[in-house]
Chain A
Amino acid sequence: MNKRILVSILLLLVLSVLLAACGGGGNDVIRIGINAPLTGDNPKVGEGTKYAAEMWLEDINAAGGLEVGGKMYQVELVTEDNEYKAESATKANTKLITQDEVLLIIGPQSSQQAVPAGGVANDNKTPMISPWSTNPNTTLNRPWVFRTPFLDPFQGPVVANFATEQFGATKAAVLYDVASDYPKGLAEFFKAAWEENHGAGSVVAFESFTTKDQDFSAQLTKIKESGADFIFTPQYYSEVPLIVQQAHELGWDKPIVGSDSWGSAELVNLCGDDCDGLFFSTHYAAAGATGATKAFIDRYNEKYGYVPDDVGALTWDTLLLAQQAIQDCGEITGDLAVDRQCVRDALANIKDFHGITGDMTFTPEGDPIKCAVIVRISDAGEFEFFEQVCP
């Protein structure tokens, strides 16, 4: 009696292992991992990622799957929440790579998560494309990690040159979060670019705070006292309204300039009239877009009820890049190591990719060469195209 039970349990175990193995190495399913901040400090970023990915999957499913080398494959998206934390992002990547056995990973979005998570992907020889991370360290010395946006060493000078020409400014002030990779990196690139043009000491205030701070009055008082011509603050949409509003309350009436992290529809909701007329650098301008970009914006707007942020557009481009790389591969063998290597090589060889955020060709480092735009927040709260800056 006992033996019989033991045998049947063993049989069940063997069967389930076999089944699991089948599920893991399923032949006609391609799994793509999404590592996004669905909760935490910047949930809008995660939402934009998720929605863009859903739209892409819709297209794939409508076409009956993804065709690779004459065979149709079903595509499955495995989404993991990184809570906008570095630790959770590395954990999510490890899970996606080892447990879910995805072919490649899209995300994480912010450099704070993408820099550490990129290490995990590279060590495990799994291709990863970050749609939004602009800090150089994300892809540096990591052959398996790619990205879709431009880099901060490019964005820093773009903002510096814009402020010099537009405002005739000679003295700059910077306010940034010292505890987060993206703002800290960009603040330093901006400072270097500004001092190269205007001489040492021309950044008259270089003030910082730490993540979760809500009061910036001491730093802003210092900036006001320093006699700067404008403030550059490369912060996220949940912090910018507080900074701008507090600056105005302290009697600051000069310009405040931002970077691509400003580009969220939430910014205007949270900021109200205080942000009207301010400028920031970003990847694309939704207002006045044409062609495929407009088609994407209209479709997104109709489906989800608001104009997509740059994160949404970049995620869309990233998925199309991934799609092209998989198709360029020509064959899915079912052996993950081989397929991952093949997708990586295909990504590195993509030339003149026409994305909705601009044309891209990849450098050996895995970074695209592409243009930036300067956007003005109109009095109606729309992100208006102001000018384009190309490398």
Chain B
Amino acid sequence: MTYFLQNFVNALQWGSFYALIALGYSMVYGVLLLFNFAHGDIFMVGSYIGFFVATGLVGLSAVGVITLPYWLILVLTILISMILTAFVGMLVERVGYRPLRDAPRASAAITGLMIGVILETLNLIMLGAERYKFPELLQTEIYELGGVSVTNKKIMIVFVSLLLMYLLNLFVMKTKWGMAMRAMAYDFAVVPLMGIPLNTIAALTFGLGSALAAAASILFGTAYPVMDPYMGVTIGWKAFVAAILGGRGSIVGAAVAGFILGFIEIFSASVFPSTYRDLIAYSIILFILVFRPHGLFGQEHTSKLRL
């Protein structure tokens, strides 16, 4: 039982990252009907921005310019890198996607891959190939609860992820901007005729998705502190699988499927020999998609943003 619970806790943490990243894929798909394959690399950029913000704030505190406790530095790091990475996402949209909006879908998908490679290589050139260590802003505390090890980091990661998903939901459901996004997802062609600025909404969607990826990357950095230019590739692909599993364009679907993917991966490895983890995990997902080709929360024919 403790074995099961321990893996449950592990999976909650791991699923949070997939969920947060998958949201970015799904929102962009919902509004613009394209997958932003550079999203995993935006996650990586968010991590490096977070690294510099955190290092800077720690440095300023150390020399006494400002005196901030570490938890506040962590909160500020998350907020500042969310804002900065949102601008990176908007820039990617402006440079890479907007000129190709009327081009075939395949061109836009290829653009995403190319922008991803450009971001990785730029990082490699500017910062070199060496690994960076994400600053430790949260001193690890381990709690033993009936044989299950839980750390303050794990609790924080799951809590902050759920909070962000709740806030995103509020934004999409309760604000005018959110309503415009939903309208755009409902009908891409007609809604701009009603006076809703397509470009602004597209940029907003990219910005929101990128901000979530940045938040995920800072949380990721606290739990997995080794950074490299290719850190976003694998996790980006897997989160893309989660977005498909959840149903293209479905926000709730992306969040739920992110956690499902985390659980499937962790429990495959814990029950079967770990060598077969990905084989088993992704066979299960293929199996689900055979029976629900539109994903768990996707709608047939109108695979649009649904909440």
Give chain A's interface residues, CB within 8 Å of chain B. Answer: 38-41, 43-44, 46-47, 178, 207-210, 212-215, 217-219, 221-222, 225, 238-239, 241-242, 245, 248-251, 266, 269-270, 272
Whether the Cβ atoms of B131 and A251 lie closer than 8 Å is no
Once A214-B235, A221-B3, A221-B270 are accepted as A-B contacts, the answer to whether A251 and B142 lie under 8 Å apart by CB is yes
Chain A residues within 8 Å of B130, by CB: 43-44, 47, 266
B278 & A210 in contact (Cβ 8 Å cutoff): yes
Cα separation A41 to B10 with both chains bound (whole Å): 26
Nearest 8 pairs of A and B residues by beta carbon: A43-B129, A218-B269, A217-B10, A251-B149, A39-B129, A218-B270, A218-B266, A214-B224
Inter-chain contact A218/B10, CB cutoff 8 Å = yes
| Interface check B98, CB cutoff 8 A | no
Q: Are A208 and B275 in contact (CB under 8 A)?
A: yes
* CB–CB A242/B151 < 8 A: no
Chain B minimum-CB-distance residue to A211: B234
Chain A nearest Cβ from B204, distance in angstroms: 31
B144: nearest residue on chain A (CB-CB)? Answer: A251
The DSSP consensus for interface residues of chain B is helix
- Complex interface: chain B residues within 8 A of A40 (CB): 129
Given A39-B124, A212-B234, A250 and B275 contact (CB-CB distance below 8 Å): no
B274 within 8 A of partner (CB): yes
11 A-B pairs whose Cβ atoms sit less than 8 Å apart in the complex: A38-B129, A207-B273, A207-B274, A217-B10, A218-B268, A221-B270, A238-B228, A242-B225, A242-B226, A266-B130, A269-B133
**Is B240 interfacial (CB 8 A cutoff)?**
no
The reply to whether A217 and B14 form a contact with Cβ atoms under 8 Å apart is yes
Given A214-B235, A251-B144, check contact A238 B274 (CB 8 Å).
no
On whether the beta carbons of B266 and A217 are closer than 8 Å, the reply is yes
**B277 interface residue per 8 A CB criterion:** yes
Find chain A residues with CB under 8 A from B149 CB. Answer: 249-251
Q: Mark B1-42, 1 if CB is under 8 A from A, else 0.
A: 001001100100110000000000000000000000000000
**Interfacial chain A residues near B226, Cβ < 8 Å:** 214, 238-239, 241-242, 270
The complex places the Cα of A38 from the Cα of B225 at a distance, in Å, of 22
> Which residues 221-250 of B have a CB within 8 angstroms of A?
224-226, 228, 230-231, 233-235
Residue of A at shortest CB range from B129?
Answer: A43
Which residue of chain B has its CB nearest to the CB of A239? Answer: B226
Which of A214, A215, A238 lies at the interface centre, i.e. has the most chain B CB atoms within 10 A of its CB? Answer: A215
Write out the residue numbers on chain B whose beta carbons fall within 8 Å of the beta carbon of A44. Answer: 130-131
Q: Are A270 and B224 in contact (CB under 8 A)?
A: no
A208 surroundings in chain B (CB, below 8 A): 273-275
